[in-house]
Amino acid sequence: AQSVTQLDSHVSVSEGTPVLLRCNYSSSYSPSLFWYVQHPNKGLQLLLKYTSAATLVKGINGFEAEFKKSETSFHLTKPSAHMSDAAEYSCSISNFGNEKLTFGTGTRLTIIP
């Protein structure tokens, strides 16, 4: 069985300050981990993915995430928030060789001008 927990349903940060969106996972196998972003009326867009290569993964729009097996975490970070980052962010997991994605409940990111 696999699961994902997104600890914060809503995060607010000021423009220009760092962003941290938390994700913890549970998996019996070697997982692949993903972060997706969804803007209103748009489909989920892949930000970045971890698939057993480098533990620090860089994605689009300046986001990155670090896979920490000891902490079973895959937190998403960005050094400086931009107004356009306001969106819903979802962390998901699939087990190696298993294509099924399991999603967390999502985190809504609000950027304060």
SS3 93: strand
Helices (H), the chain: none
Annotate each residue in 35-54 with x if it binds another protein (CB under 8 A) or - if it does not, as one string. Answer: -x----xxxxxx--x-x---
Q: Considering only CA atoms, which of 10, 41, 37, 43 is closest in space to residue 111?
A: 10
Residue 1 as a binder of another protein (CB under 8 A): the answer is no
Beta bridge partners, 110, equal 12
Q: What is the largest CA-CA distance in the chain?
A: 43
Residues 50-79 that bind another protein (CB under 8 A): 51
CB of 113 to another protein, least distance (A): 27
**Closer residue to another protein, CB minimum distance, 12 or 45:** 45
- Cβ neighbours, 10 Å, residue 41: 5
CB of 100 to another protein, least distance (A): 6
CB of 43 to another protein, least distance (A): 4
Residue 99 as a binder of another protein (CB under 8 A): the answer is yes
- Cβ neighbours, 10 Å, residue 5: 14
Positions touching another protein (CB under 8 A) are 4, 32, 36, 41-46, 49, 51, 90, 92, 94, 99-106
